[in-house]
């Protein structure tokens, strides 16, 4: 089951997403919970690299109302970055004071050794000793693995030297192995909640955020990531750690049979990406071939993701997108609002991978 919710009140949107999901089936009162955001760098979430503190606040409020108060926010920032400074820069010290939660820098933690499929692993003791684990990644692009979401976010639960070693091993197999170990340990006691509010278009450290105002919840990391991969223009098998994870039995890919609940679709933000200075350079590359009229940001973002990967479009042609094209005709459109066109990509919003196929 995948639950998707839209809204610009990120605390409420997160809370309501959890309330509509199946997380209640796996929670118990008075248990301890670890929340693992993505604080890879010391940058605010609006830059598209780090998990919004409002999303984590929505989780905390939901857990508190459920009767859970033993909560830790855990992280180990990327090599060369300071986790404690990231907690401060990203707004998490405010959460600590407001809700009396712990902020744990896993750089200072003890690590437990494991072996899986011939690969040695060291995993944070704190990350493994909670009763329940909530993975809160940002859906964004990555320069080496193409995408980073739930499965790759677990890299923050290993020591710095292990992070470096993962790169020497090619990243994908150790990421899948790490997730297999977590899956064996937590099984039904883990949950994925994806911050898809404004993930970066091209780079994991932020700078080119793409507004979507979307929260995605799911129990299984492979299912979640396979769905999210398609949102930004990839087939699941394009992401090697996903195919490895599936082979290891961690989970199945998203398919047409997957139950998906979409909430508050009327709250999909109207497109602002073309007027946003931080993404203007990328968006401007395609402005001459896009004709936009009241497009939702998530729809427009999918188109930008697809064009950013493809890089061109037939000379003299226009891609139409937006609610202003309802009931109109044309040559090429994106989204259900352009269903009167000769050729259009279905979906509300469409997946970037489907746009790519048609391009």
pLDDT of residue 236: 96
Residues paired with residue 296 on neighbouring β-strands, in sequence order: 270
pLDDT of residue 297: 59
Q: Inform me whether the pLDDT recorded for 202 exceeds 80.
A: no
Between 287 and 250, the higher pLDDT residue: 250
pLDDT of residue 283: 57
Residue 137's pLDDT band, with cuts at 50, 70 and 90, is very high
What are the residue ranges of CATH 3.40.50 in the chain? 2-266
Average pLDDT over residues 79-98: 94
For 110-114, 175-179, 285-289, which range has the lowest pLDDT when averaged over its residues? Answer: 285-289
Between 284 and 352, the higher pLDDT residue: 352
Q: 187: left (phi > 0), else alpha (psi -120 to 50), else beta?
A: left
Q: Inform me whether the pLDDT recorded for 225 exceeds 70.
A: yes
Average pLDDT over residues 10-33: 96
Between 297 and 129, the higher pLDDT residue: 129
Average pLDDT over residues 118-129: 96
Average pLDDT over residues 214-241: 95
Q: Inform me whether the pLDDT recorded for 203 exceeds 80.
A: no
Tens-place pLDDT, residues 47-62: 999 999 999 999 999 9
Average pLDDT over residues 108-133: 96
Cβ–Cβ < 8 Å for 299, 348: yes
Q: Inform me whether the pLDDT recorded for 280 exceeds 50.
A: no
Residue 213's pLDDT band, with cuts at 50, 70 and 90, is very high
Burial of residue 264 (number of CB atoms within 10 Å: 0-12, 13-18, 19+): middle
- Would you say domain 2-266 falls under CATH 3.40.50? yes
Average pLDDT over residues 136-143: 90
Between 240 and 142, the higher pLDDT residue: 240
pLDDT of residue 10: 98
Between 74 and 324, the higher pLDDT residue: 74
Q: Inform me whether the pLDDT recorded for 2 exceeds 60.
A: yes
pLDDT of residue 145: 85
Q: Inform me whether the pLDDT recorded for 261 exceeds 50.
A: yes
Cβ–Cβ < 8 Å for 212, 301: yes
pLDDT of residue 311: 60
Q: Inform me whether the pLDDT recorded for 238 exceeds 90.
A: yes
Q: Inform me whether the pLDDT recorded for 79 exceeds 50.
A: yes
pLDDT of residue 277: 43
Contacts for 278 with CB less than 8 Å, ≥ 6 apart = 47, 207, 208, 209
pTM for the full model? Answer: 0.82
Q: Inform me whether the pLDDT recorded for 351 exceeds 90.
A: no
pLDDT of residue 279: 46
Q: What is the mean pLDDT of the chain?
A: 90
């Amino acid at each position: 089951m995948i639950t998707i919710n839209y809204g610009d009140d990120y605390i409420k949107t997160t809370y309501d997403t959890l309330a509509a999901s199946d997380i209640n089936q796996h929670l118990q009162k008075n248990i301890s919970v670890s929340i693992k955001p993505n604080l890879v760098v010391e940058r605010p979430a609006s830059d598209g690299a780090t998990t919004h503190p409002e999303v984590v606040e929505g989780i905390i409020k939901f857990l508190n109302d459920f009767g859970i108060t033993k909560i830790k926010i855990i992280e180990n920032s990327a090599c060369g970055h300071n986790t404690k400074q990231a907690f401060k820069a990203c707004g998490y010290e405010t959460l600590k004071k407001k809700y009396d939660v712990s902020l744990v820098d896993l750089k200072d933690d003890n690590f437990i050794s494991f072996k899986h499929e011939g690969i040695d692993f060291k995993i944070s003791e704190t990350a493994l000793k909670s009763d329940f684990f909530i993975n809160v990644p940002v859906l964004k692009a990555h320069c080496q693995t193409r995408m980073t979401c739930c499965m790759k976010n677990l890299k923050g639960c290993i020591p710095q030297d292990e992070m470096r070693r993962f790169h020497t091993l090619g990243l994908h197999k150790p990421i899948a192995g790490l997730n297999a170990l977590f899956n064996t340990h937590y099984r039904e006691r883990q949950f994925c909640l994806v911050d898809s509010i404004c993930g970066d278009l091209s780079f994991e450290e932020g700078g080119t955020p793409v507004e979507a105002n979307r929260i995605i919840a799911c129990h299984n990391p492979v299912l979640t990531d396979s769905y999210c991969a398609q949102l930004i223009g990839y087939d699941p098998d394009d992401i090697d750690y996903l195919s490895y994870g599936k082979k290891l039995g961690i989970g199945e890919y998203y398919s047409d049979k997957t139950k998906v609940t979409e909430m508050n679709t009327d709250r999909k933000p109207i497109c602002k990406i073309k007027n946003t200075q931080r993404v203007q350079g990328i968006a401007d590359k395609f402005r001459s071939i896009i004709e936009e009229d009241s497009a939702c940001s998530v729809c427009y973002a999918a188109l930008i993701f697809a064009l950013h990967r493809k890089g061109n479009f037939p000379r003299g042609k226009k891609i139409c997108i937006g609610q202003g094209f309802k009931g109109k005709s044309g040559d090429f459109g994106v989204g259900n609002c352009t269903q009167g066109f000769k050729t259009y990509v279905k979906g509300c919003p469409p997946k970037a991978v489907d746009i790519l196929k048609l391009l």
